[in-house]
Structure 1
Amino acid sequence: MTYDSDALNASIKAAIAEANDDLRALSMSIHGKPELAWEEHHAHDVLTAYMEKQEGFVVERKICQLDTAWRASFGSEGPLIGFCSEMDALPGIGHACGHNLIAIAGCAAAIGVARALREHKLPGRVVLLGTPAEESGGGKCLMLERGAFDGMDACLMVHPGPRGNGAAAMTSTCRTGVTVAYSGRSAHAGGAPEKGINALDAAVQGYVNVSTLRQQLPTTTRVHGIIAGGEHWAPNAIPASSKLLYGIRAPSAKDLAPLIPRVLACFASGALATGCTYTTDGESLYLDLQQNGNLTDAFRSFTEAESGSEGYAVPREFPTFGSTDFGNVSYIMPGFHPMFFLPDAHPEEFPHSSSFAEAASTLSAHKAALQAAEGIAVVGLRVLVDEQFRKATRKQWEANMAAANAEEAVARIRELLPVSKEPIKGGFCSCDH
């Protein structure tokens, strides 16, 4: 039996259709209780409880030394396909990135593939990972380092987007972030200003320097940030401490690497001009997506056959300056990360807006998420049961990585901005949608 038989696809569709009501309840439960990065305890609990009820799945909670990461595994032999369920929300605006939909889409895809394998007695393994902290902290980065993705032949997930065509192979930028902490010396601003070393001036100077630098940067790069640390400042006291929080983005790791020293020089000059000392702490490096053309074509073929029209644009029709830690996954194995549109989203509203959070709770959004889940399930099943397709997918990934030729650039970025191995809470959105 081949991957594209009516019987195999029917098994996937039937499994997802039967799960519809439960998945809708899961989505609304997660949407109604939004949790920030590393704090997705409710989502972790309800998703793992649901997957524990699915036939043939073994569920592990709190994996990779992370309290909200989890794994649901099916099968014991054969090739391995992975899916991801994101869970975290955004400060103040809840699930404005639609991770409630991503969470259930991962579940739907996993149970759909498992049903097809089980009913048709085919070898193959499925792993669904609950991946925390996409918005801030890079949960997938840590999970990669700690072995959660080991052995996968490919990994797939979906993401909601604005009204219009979806993007079968959305692009993303390479992104890192930095916290700059300036230290000076406090003094009375009126009585003895000469005794002070003004850390706020250092931050202002660093901020202005970056603003000046932007004029000479390519239009495809982004450097943006804020001044922080002023909770205890007063007009009559010279601030002894301040912080800058910055995101730095470029189309690829090779574009990002030479940009970072120029930005760091802006921060250093702020310290030099004021006499402050300073430290820099890097955030998780989010690599640019290496979308797999083989998986993209298979997804588009299925979704267009289902819808009877072109529902998903090719990458050049949907460039995005957002970033995702799934890019790191796509550097390690064949990856696929399409974007599906929400029919009731405002046409001019993208993720990370309050109206998008509302749209992510609608029934039409739920239906769109499950349709996208069907697509990645069909593609994932093909990876498992069609050896030639699996080999071609791997070959495509190897060609992508050879063209990217990014190993030296990635190493350089990590040398310039080393990252803590432990989860980092706080800061601001790493994905920068």
Structure 2
Amino acid sequence: MTYDSDALNASIKAAIAEANDDLRALSMSIHGKPELAWEEHHAHDVLTAYMEKQEGFVVERKICQLDTAWRASFGSEGPLIGFCSEMDALPGIGHACGHNLIAIAGCAAAIGVARALREHKLPGRVVLLGTPAEESGGGKCLMLERGAFDGMDACLMVHPGPRGNGAAAMTSTCRTGVTVAYSGRSAHAGGAPEKGINALDAAVQGYVNVSTLRQQLPTTTRVHGIIAGGEHWAPNAIPASSKLLYGIRAPSAKDLAPLVPRVLACFASGALATGCTYTTEGQHLYLELQQNSGLSGVFKSFSEGEWGDEGYEVPAGMTTTASTDFGNVSYHVPALHPMFLLPSASPEDFPHSSSFADAASTPSAHQAALRAAEGIAVAGLRVVVDESFRNQIRKEWEADMAASGAEEAIKQIREALPATGEPVKGGFCSCDH
């Protein structure tokens, strides 16, 4: 099939430009009413209402047995390109990860590709997924398990960062999390301490053990956590229960697999030393991003051709110690997750800070998000209309999967820390920049 890339890209740009004001209002509506993981009811409602108004889209609400997940589909035949809109905010600081921008960027990319296919009478399908609970809960993990990403030829989304952190193909770390619950026996701390079994001591020992372990770990790993459960403690009573909440990160699943049992041994020794019993509950495993070089090349070429380095930098090969459940998507289909910078944010205004939440509401942040949306729309449309490119990125992805050697490592991690198959509220941030 022959196609005019300039004409197709012009259709994308026109569609996104026409949607500018509505998308700005949508972004500010979501930003002004931040909702935590699994509670994104307002975002779900306003985003689905918006997509229902877009020509040719069919919207499904509350998909995958998840109250705040949704799907907007365009087209009935041809290759399938997917996009994601994240929605959840952070406790206390609102949209400090800019998910209001991610949400509208997904909408913009989807309607841009749909316009190009419709105007040029080309076969192809578009799916935009509203994906809840990226920060805490692994929404995309559950949606993957329940088939939401099946059949896609590729999937793309974007994410904001502070100035200096734009990147066409920034990688992420592989991450798992664990909740450790210690159980002991209460007693009067002054009158009969010998009758108690101190669950707080168990947590303290586990915490100190991890701190001792940490100095022997590679600098590329991260093990970080807190002691929790103190709402019922009193200084004159031996605590009968306590919790540890921990995140464990490494550059890849292969690096993470041998680290997990070492950390779990730290928690076990805390129980052994104090006589407590304990349980562990794993969180969803967030795999490292497998950024597709073909997709990133198209995104980078288009973005630099349109805007150069003026307010939008896209150097390839940058790394981050943050994690995302979109990494799991990149293990399922060829994928791209570029970072775009917020022009008003300084390098100190990092995601998960109140100043970043402020930056995510600015007009310049909105324009940066739409520029990034144009980039992933152009790359996504190329997948749909160019069979040779589609085959190229598939071969690249298959080679990346083979090179990762992650299958056995993933199995080991999930056996050591099985995650619940249902949405879990609370905990702590998985993205955790």
Normalised by the length of structure 1, the TM-score is 0.98
Q: Counterparts in 2 of 1:1-400, with a 5 A limit?
A: 2=2, 5-164=5-164, 166-309=166-309, 311-316=312-317, 318-400=318-400
Q: Give the whole-Å Cα distance in 2 for the aligned partners of 1:4 and 1:276.
A: 69
Q: Is the 8 Å Cα contact of residues 331 and 401 (structure 2) preserved in structure 1? A: yes
| CA distance 1:285–1:165, shift in 2 (3 Å) | closer
Q: Give the whole-Å Cα distance in 2 for the aligned partners of 1:314 and 1:224.
A: 29
CA displacement at 1:309 relative to structure 2:
4.3
User: What is the percent sequence identity of the aligned residues?
Assistant: 87
Structure 1 residues 386-418: Cα deviation after superposition (integer angstroms, max 9, x where no partner): 000000000010111111010000010000000
Q: Is the 8 Å Cα contact of residues 113 and 126 (structure 1) preserved in structure 2? A: yes
Which segments of 5 or more consecutive residues in structure 2 lack a partner in the other structure? none
Q: Is the 8 Å Cα contact of residues 38 and 133 (structure 2) preserved in structure 1? A: yes
| CA distance 1:4–1:294, shift in 2 (3 Å) | farther
Normalised by the length of structure 2, the TM-score is 0.98
Q: Give the whole-Å Cα distance in 2 for the aligned partners of 1:308 and 1:334.
A: 26
CA displacement at 1:308 relative to structure 2:
3.5
CA displacement at 1:155 relative to structure 2:
0.1
Q: Is the 8 Å Cα contact of residues 105 and 372 (structure 2) preserved in structure 1? A: yes
Which segments of 5 or more consecutive residues in structure 1 lack a partner in the other structure? none
Q: Is the 8 Å Cα contact of residues 180 and 245 (structure 2) preserved in structure 1? A: yes
CA displacement at 1:4 relative to structure 2:
5.2
Stretch of structure 1 that moved more, 129-138 or 344-353: 344-353
CA displacement at 1:3 relative to structure 2:
5.0
Instruction: Give the residue type in structure 1 aligned to 2:10.
Output: A
Structure 1 residues 222-266: Cα deviation after superposition (integer angstroms, max 9, x where no partner): 000000000010011000000000000000000000000000000
CA displacement at 1:315 relative to structure 2:
3.9
| CA distance 1:3–1:268, shift in 2 (3 Å) | farther
Q: Is the 8 Å Cα contact of residues 82 and 155 (structure 1) preserved in structure 2? A: yes
Q: Is the 8 Å Cα contact of residues 314 and 340 (structure 2) preserved in structure 1? A: no
Stretch of structure 1 that moved more, 264-273 or 304-313: 304-313
SS in 2 for 1:179: strand
Q: Is the 8 Å Cα contact of residues 4 and 382 (structure 1) preserved in structure 2? A: no
CA displacement at 1:428 relative to structure 2:
0.7
CA displacement at 1:68 relative to structure 2:
0.2
Q: Give the whole-Å Cα distance in 1 for the aligned partners of 2:123 and 2:215.
A: 56
Structure 1 residues 130-155: Cα deviation after superposition (integer angstroms, max 9, x where no partner): 00000000000000000100100000
Stretch of structure 1 that moved more, 230-239 or 303-312: 303-312
Aligned Cα root-mean-square deviation (Å): 1.0
| CA distance 1:230–1:247, shift in 2 (3 Å) | same
SS in 1 for 2:66: coil
CA displacement at 1:165 relative to structure 2:
5.3
Q: Give the whole-Å Cα distance in 2 for the aligned partners of 1:50 and 1:345.
A: 28
Q: Give the whole-Å Cα distance in 2 for the aligned partners of 1:346 and 1:4.
A: 39
| Equivalences, count | 432
| CA distance 1:2–1:167, shift in 2 (3 Å) | farther
Structure 1 residues 284-340: Cα deviation after superposition (integer angstroms, max 9, x where no partner): 100000000000111111111101448444443x21100000000000110000000
Q: Give the whole-Å Cα distance in 2 for the aligned partners of 1:250 and 1:370.
A: 32
Q: Is the 8 Å Cα contact of residues 24 and 366 (structure 2) preserved in structure 1? A: yes
Q: Give the whole-Å Cα distance in 2 for the aligned partners of 1:5 and 1:168.
A: 20
CA displacement at 1:2 relative to structure 2:
4.3
In structure 1, the residue matched to 2:408 is: 408
Instruction: Give the residue type in structure 2 aligned to 1:412.
Output: Q
Instruction: Give the residue type in structure 2 aligned to 1:327.
Output: G
Q: Give the whole-Å Cα distance in 1 for the aligned partners of 2:144 and 2:407.
A: 16
Q: Is the 8 Å Cα contact of residues 166 and 315 (structure 2) preserved in structure 1? A: no
| CA distance 1:161–1:2, shift in 2 (3 Å) | farther
